Amino acid sequence: MSTHASCPALLVAAPASGQGKTTVTAALARLHARQGRRVRVFKCGPDFLDPHWHELASGAPVHALDLWINGAQDCAQRLHDAAREADLLLIEGVMGLFDGDPSAADLAQRFGVPVLAVVDASAMAGTFGALAHGLRDYLPGLPWAGVLANRVGSARHADMLRAGLRDPQDWLGALARITLGEGPALLPERHLGLVAAHELQDARQRLDAAADALAATPLGQMSADDLQRWAVDFPAPQATEAVLPLLAGRTVAVARDAAFSFIYAANLQTLQELGARLCFFSPLAGDRLPPCDAVWLPGGYPELHVARIAANTGLRADLLRHLDAGLPLWAECGGMVALCESVQLQNGTVQPLWGLLPGQATLNKRLAGLGPQQLPVAGAVLRGHTFHYSTLASSAPIVARSSRPGEASAPEAGEALYRVGRLHASYFHAWFASSPRAVAHLLGGEGA
């Protein structure tokens, strides 16, 4: 088997959030997938929402890349594996190009992936060139593809933007503001980010509108041969230690629907590598708990579906019997909220939930937790992140707390890991591949 794989690749970045990275990445993926090319898309940093759009656009699973959460070797392996089967690799950046430690620029430089900068040029002219120059030259040796002007007002506006570039070859085109019908945005948002693609019946139509717009730009008119200018060699990293089958012969039931949708594809992959058989169920659809040895309630939007969650009393009874039988349950963020006695919404109303974890969650208008975190579990350390608007007041015992990278856990800092019997719950979102042994412990694996 070859230890090298070459494939055209772009990291789609921007000077800040809200510039249109997700739209451009999804449009590129959709455009080339429609032309019969095999496109693989990644998301830089932890994100559950943008990947839904990229998966629909490309027709392939989307994985996160983060030099700290994944580790450089995991990132290298995923890029190598994708390059072996793809005609084009796309990586959507996070926040601004140089924001965070590690940043999207760090990822681009480490793996030699050229940066495509997307700039919201709606309120600028000559400054566009200065901004492009800064993004290109701020970090010496940064691989560079060019710049795409977004939300451009007219052809004359585009000419003004292009004239401001020091290097004419940096120009990859201009996009007008893309909308669908009378909607204010092509990809609508709410409090945790974009609305997931599977929640919109016209999601594919939205992607096609974006792809059609991009097709009129120099970037969108590039052929397969043209894309070879951005070919990158992705060598295979050294082999890692095999994952032990600590969940062999065990069935893990995973909640999955609009209320419980924050699931990394890589986490499901890790569970399978641990030997688990996965079965999925939908609390919103009224499903009962399938026969299983362990349950995972991932994060999502339980606060948007409180009445339907509370109404599934059969599932609540099943979960209670599961716990009474001494079987494990791992609940992350929204999954933990659903287990609480109640939740207070932003309008002040209090809604009952399943009541299997003591306490009440309160949905706030401001973020209550954000950023990469690490959590000690049974002598191992899980890496992941936190991102939530709600807070929880609970009397459940706290057995550990998460901490930021490079920081020791403090008694009142980080996210609490609650434990009641075999129930473990936290606002912490785990990247399972960072410690399969810790995951196996949470889900009752032998020897974990």
For the chain, the domains span 6-233, 251-442
Calculate the CA dihedral of residues 211, 212, 217, 219 and round it to 10 degrees: 30
The DSSP secondary-structure symbol of 137 reads H
Nearest to 397 by CA among 422, 362, 375: 422
- Cβ atoms of 217 and 171 within 8 Å: the answer is no
Nearest to 301 by CA among 187, 387, 223, 411: 387
pLDDT of residue 248: 96
- Report d(CA 380, CA 239) in Å as an integer: 21
Say what the pTM is.
Answer: 0.91
Known catalytic residues are: 333
The CATH number corresponding to 6-233 among 3.40.640.10, 3.40.50.300, 3.30.2350.10, 1.10.3720.10 equals 3.40.50.300
- Report d(CA 114, CA 141) in Å as an integer: 11
Structure tokens at 56: 């629909």
Question: Pairing mode, if any, of strands 340-344 and 350-352?
Answer: antiparallel
| DSSP letters for 247-266 | TTT-EEEEE-BTTB-B--HH
pLDDT of residue 199: 60
- Report d(CA 361, CA 154) in Å as an integer: 48
Work out the number of other CB atoms within 10 angstroms of the CB of residue 205.
Answer: 11
Per-residue pLDDT of the chain in tens (448 residues, 90 and over written 9): 567 799 999 999 999 999 999 999 999 999 999 999 999 999 998 887 888 889 999 999 999 999 999 999 999 999 999 999 999 999 999 999 999 999 999 999 999 999 999 999 999 999 999 999 999 999 999 999 999 999 999 999 999 999 999 999 999 999 998 776 545 455 554 444 445 556 666 788 889 999 999 999 999 999 999 999 999 999 999 887 889 999 999 999 999 999 999 999 999 999 999 999 999 999 999 999 999 999 999 999 899 999 999 999 999 999 999 999 999 999 999 999 999 999 999 899 999 999 999 999 999 888 888 899 999 999 999 999 999 889 999 999 999 999 999 886 555 678 999 999 999 999 999 999 999 999 999 999 765 5
pLDDT of residue 26: 95
Is residue 30 packed enough to be buried (19+ CB in 10 Å), middle (13-18) or exposed (0-12)?
buried
pLDDT of residue 184: 46
Q: ∠ at Cα 284 (289, 394), nearest 5°?
A: 75
The DSSP secondary-structure symbol of 215 reads T
Nearest to 294 by CA among 104, 446, 127: 446
CATH of domain 251-442: 3.40.50.880
Please identify which residue in the block is written with the tokens 């429609």: 34
